[in-house]
Amino acid sequence: MLMPMANETIIFPFVRVVGQDKMKKGLLLNIVDPGIGGVLIKGEKGTAKSTSVRSLAQVLPPRLSVVGCPYHCDPRFPKRMCADCREKLASDAIVAEEVPTSVVELPLSATEDRVSGTLDLEHVLKTGEKKFEPGVLAQANGNILYVDEVNLLDDHIIDLLLDSAAMGVNYIEREGVSFSHPAKFVLVGSMNPEEGSLRPQLLDRFGLCVDVEGEKDVSVRMEVIRRRMQFDADPEGYLASCQGETDSLRKKIEEARALLPKVVLSDKILHDIVHVCIHFKMEGHRADITMMRASKANAALEGRTEVTKEDLRTVAPLVLGHRLKKRAFEEVTFDMKELDICLGI
Amino acid sequence: MPGHMMVPHYPFPAVYGMEQAKKALMCAMANPKIKTVLIKGASGTGKTLVARSLGEVSGKSIVNVPLNVTDEQLFGCLDLESAIKEGKIELQEGLLQRADGNILYMDDVNLFEQRMINGVIEAVLSGRVKIERENISTTYDVDTVLIATMNVHDSYLSPVILDHFDICVDADYPEDEAGRTEILRRSLAFDEDPDTFASEYADEERAIAEKIGKAKEIAEGAVVSESIARTIASVSGKMGIDGTRGDLSTANVAVALAALDGRSEVSDVDLEEAAVMCLSHRRKVVRGRRVDRMEKVVHSSVGFNTESRAIFKAVHPARDAKHGADSDPDGETPENSDPAAVADDSHVFRGKESEDIITKIGETFETIDLFEQEGAAKARGASSTKGKRVLKKTTTRSGRYVGSRFTEERNPDLAFDATVRAAAPYQIKRHKEKDTGMAVIIEKPDMREKIRETRSSSTFLFAVDTSGSLIIRNRMVAVKGAILSLLKQHYVKKDRVGFMTFNESAIQMLMQPSREVETIYRLLDDLAIGKRTPLSAALQYLSDYMSMYIKKRPDDDCYVVLVTDGGANICLDPDDTVTDPIEEALGIARRMNIPGVKWIVIDSEKKFDAVHHAKDLADALRATYYTLDDLKVVTYEEMNLVRTAKQRIQK
């Protein structure tokens, strides 16, 4: 795989982030199956949220993309291609190339037209003809879209993001432009709960949610500092020193993706999922479906073709935690013991 | 520009459960007189899925209205290219035009701006779009049906808009284990292979399409008999529904239901079902004792014996005992149609609360939304939109771009598309006059600026009197309960909330207005209590604070919620023994005038106590006045009762 280019800032290696297993799990599950619906990372500042997400690019397997397509259509899935590429496909004019999967960041200050795309001003002025200027959602297609401090984003932009993420399509009907293009991406949001929360309806639309905490153990904290110092002293060298681990994680992801369609889910497990969701009073079906997908992805990630109760145990807190019914201002935490009883473990 | 994407298709019959929603959609397809359908439900219940799956069985295409649509795009605007290049004024087709003969679909309709919803509904119902903009003046016909969904937990639609929906149904998703497992199984199968999955349902889908086709023919010739019309009128009359929209919808839906069943004759069962779909969302504000009793009314009017009444009695014996006198037990008197009267009734005793309600901090009731109350109060005088959640035009350059207007500003927030469209028709002429080398020559009068709108946010500053008088009467628990319930609501709606207390030892701003509402939970549990009440000083402080605050957030609606018994006993100058502290406070209150800030006084005295200083204070402040008891409304139990009654009817 390609190394980051020299003029790019080098990011602390993903494989060397200490602890934070739940967060890593949430991210990896989504990479294996982007249909899980993204992940929201909640935690205080300085808990490696942003670092982990940004460095994710290092372990992402490369993907195929149509050359010259602004939406990076994947030639293997004609149904999810933009109208342009479909036309080309019909006349067999498609050329594909392998490109790295990237982490696209949405700045907080992004305006709506930059997010969804808009009329190309320059083109209109020069030629008098209309042309669509792709925005961040176009860039995000097939990639990971990262929104830091998602709770501070304007409501209407969050609505827009979640709509596209759910539908896999970005519809634009504005400024004289009527257009739609594929926008299938993994939405990763991070937030510091001290700075306000998200509407519960928005929470529900994130497939997974993890709470991250700073490490409390002294020796672990020492290790964090030690690694950071080594990295700061020689970023390139440090990155190279763990290249092997990075490569093997990437390989693991690729294998898991290949394995995913073969993973089966027994009727027993299906019942368990529904039982758990009913027990925890999940409204609607998003929790059920997400749990099903996440447990399959987890099995694939561990190289198995059958989903077990252990998979459910792993993913349940990520799926259910943020969907628990809260009464007024209660603090609710997910209870593993309750889950175990529910699963009959 | 290239066209649109295709979205994978989930077959209509494969949507499990949602019988009511499916039936409503089929009705709309069977009877073209039904123009608007709203599906309400919690998130993740399949509202969107069922609406989108309609395309295949109806043979129509679904035209999606994205959340960030602009006016021009929706209704149509000047065609830019032909204007610039050929100097021709032509209409570029809008979404509504594309929906002609098809289905117009709005997801999360409540998140759209009210103006936009109004425009769409108006066009759909009248079948006509009128455009007066940018040198274009034209009308065109649109024959379409609007299918909208909304999340019930996510703000609300105004009654006026609701009334324009012919049908409003709940996404009645299955909650039992078997149903949920089946949904999961289908979702798994669809994920694995959408095409095979769809083909498995192809026959069923065809059957439904045929059924709709036949029903359409029958419905066309169907006539609503005199007696049916009379029954409908009496049902809606009894439910206190204004206007005739609901009656018409009910008739149309009843015809459709009969037609779907292969009959041209409308039966009582059809009528009953139609009334539930068409009238339940049109009832007046449900407040206090007024619970959904529509099934009962429907039943008794159609001549059914009503069991729901029996259930009702069994669950609420106490209520009935108290209200047996003024609410007719058989539901034969017209429902009270005055919202004011309903609101005044809100202090009724309500049977036993469910046990898990947090007793420690007082009862957490569903409370009246203060805004809705004010809306209702206004509606008594003149019809007006509800105060809240109405979108607000902003002066800053943030918010959703929804339209454009002429501007003379030096450095406007330029709406480029509109500007170019304004300039377009003159291009050929201008190019002849002077050649600047530009493709488009824009002159000052062409300039258009963006109209942006944001959902107005509100600020609630709670100022709570924590003096001893409250403690003695053990009212603090009730105060906490009331505040928490209010906050719970506003937390959901994303307002800013601040919290301040005052007693003799200090006036404390415990929390500056912020969105982090949950903090108040902790604050409420640990309040410092003092003995006496420095009301004057507190008012002075609030006045200073809010004058500053409103400057920082000029677009906000600010509310100061003053929770007190009004019993001031410290003057501004603590050593002053001559002035009457209450009079002094009232004087300050009368002089209080901060534009943009509204006051709400919650009286912590019991409703039937003799002295109400807080009422005087409220009058002086020109505030809305409530007692703590006013702030308790419908409990969850009563809501559930409605739900079970509905389910029973469907069976």
Instruction: Name the percent of chain A lying above pLDDT 70.
Output: 94
Minimal CA separation from B160 to chain A, in Å = 24
Quote the tokens at residue B99. Answer: 């929906």
- Angle formed at CA B640 by CA B637 and CA B641, multiple of 5 degrees: 90
| Most confident by average pLDDT, A263-272, B49-58, B323-332, B343-352 | A263-272
Query: Domain map of chain B by residue range?
Result: 12-220, 222-338, 391-455, 458-631
CB contact under 8 A, A173 and B183: no
Q: Which candidate in B9, B10, B15, B43 is best for mutational testing of the A interface (most A CBs within 10 A)?
A: B43
CB contact under 8 A, A176 and B188: no
Distance, CA of B162 to CA of A185 (rounded, Å): 35
Minimal CA separation from A235 to chain B, in Å = 39
Quote the tokens at residue B176. Answer: 């039992």
**Taking CB atoms and an 8 Å cutoff, what residues of chain B touch A297?**
none
Q: Which CATH architecture has domain B12-220?
A: 3-Layer(aba) Sandwich (3.40)
CB contact under 8 A, A283 and B43: yes
Rg (CA), chain B: 29
Q: Chain B residue closest to A270 (CA)? A: B181
Q: Look at residue B472 and tell me whether its pLDDT is greater than 70.
A: no
Quote the tokens at residue A96. Answer: 């594909």
CB contact under 8 A, B6 and A330: no
Q: Fold for domain B222-338? A: Helicase, Ruva Protein; domain 3 (1.10.8)
The whole-number average pLDDT for the span A59-68 is 87
Active-site amino acid positions of A: 286
Can you tell me the ipTM of this complex?
0.81
Cα dihedral B432, B433, B437, B439 in deg (nearest 10): -60
Minimal CA separation from B41 to chain A, in Å = 9
Partnered with residue A191 across adjacent β-strands are A42
Options 3.30.1700.10, 3.40.220.10, 3.40.50.410, 3.20.20.100; CATH for B458-631 is 3.40.50.410
In this structure, are residues A51 and A17 in contact, taking their beta carbons and an 8 Å threshold? yes
Instruction: Name the percent of chain B lying above pLDDT 90.
Output: 7
Q: Which candidate in A36, A82, A115, A174 is best for mutational testing of the B interface (most B CBs within 10 A)?
A: A174
Q: Chain B residue closest to A326 (CA)? A: B488
Q: Look at residue B216 and tell me whether its pLDDT is greater than 70.
A: yes
Minimal CA separation from A251 to chain B, in Å = 24
What's chain B's average pLDDT? 71
pLDDT tens across A76-91, in order? 877 778 888 888 888 8
Q: Which domains does chain A have, with CATH numbers?
A: 14-62+100-212 (3.40.50.300), 260-343 (1.10.8.80)
Minimal CA separation from B72 to chain A, in Å = 7
pLDDT tens across B267-321, in order? 888 888 888 888 878 775 433 333 334 444 444 444 333 333 333 333 333 333 3
* pLDDT-based confidence at residue B355 (cuts at 50, 70, 90): very low
Rg (CA), chain A: 21
**pLDDT score of B9:** 78
Distance, CA of B398 to CA of A305 (rounded, Å): 50
- Shared fold status for B12-220 and B222-338: no
Q: Distance of CA A132 to CAs A121, A181, B305, Å?
A: 9, 11, 62
* pLDDT-based confidence at residue A72 (cuts at 50, 70, 90): confident
In this structure, are residues B311 and B295 in contact, taking their beta carbons and an 8 Å threshold? no
Q: Distance of CA A293 to CAs A303, A341, B607, Å?
A: 15, 22, 55
**Taking CB atoms and an 8 Å cutoff, what residues of chain A touch B195?**
none
Q: Look at residue A304 and tell me whether its pLDDT is greater than 90.
A: yes
**pLDDT score of A251:** 94
The shortest CB-CB distance from B521 to any of A171, A182, A329 is to A329
**Taking CB atoms and an 8 Å cutoff, what residues of chain B touch A156?**
67-68, 111, 399-400, 454-455
Distance, CA of A183 to CA of A71 (rounded, Å): 8
**Taking CB atoms and an 8 Å cutoff, what residues of chain B touch A292?**
184, 187-188
Inter-chain contacts counted by CB atoms under 8 A, chains A and B = 204
Quote the tokens at residue B161. Answer: 């808009």
Distance, CA of B180 to CA of B156 (rounded, Å): 28
The shortest CB-CB distance from A288 to any of B72, B184, B488 is to B184
- Per DSSP (E only), the strands in B42-95 are 62-64, 77-78, 91-92
The residue to which tokens 């059920």 are assigned? A288
CB contact under 8 A, B67 and A163: yes
Q: Chain B residue closest to A193 (CA)? A: B516
**pLDDT score of A244:** 92
Residues in chain B: 651
pLDDT tens across A275-302, in order? 999 888 888 888 999 999 999 999 999 9
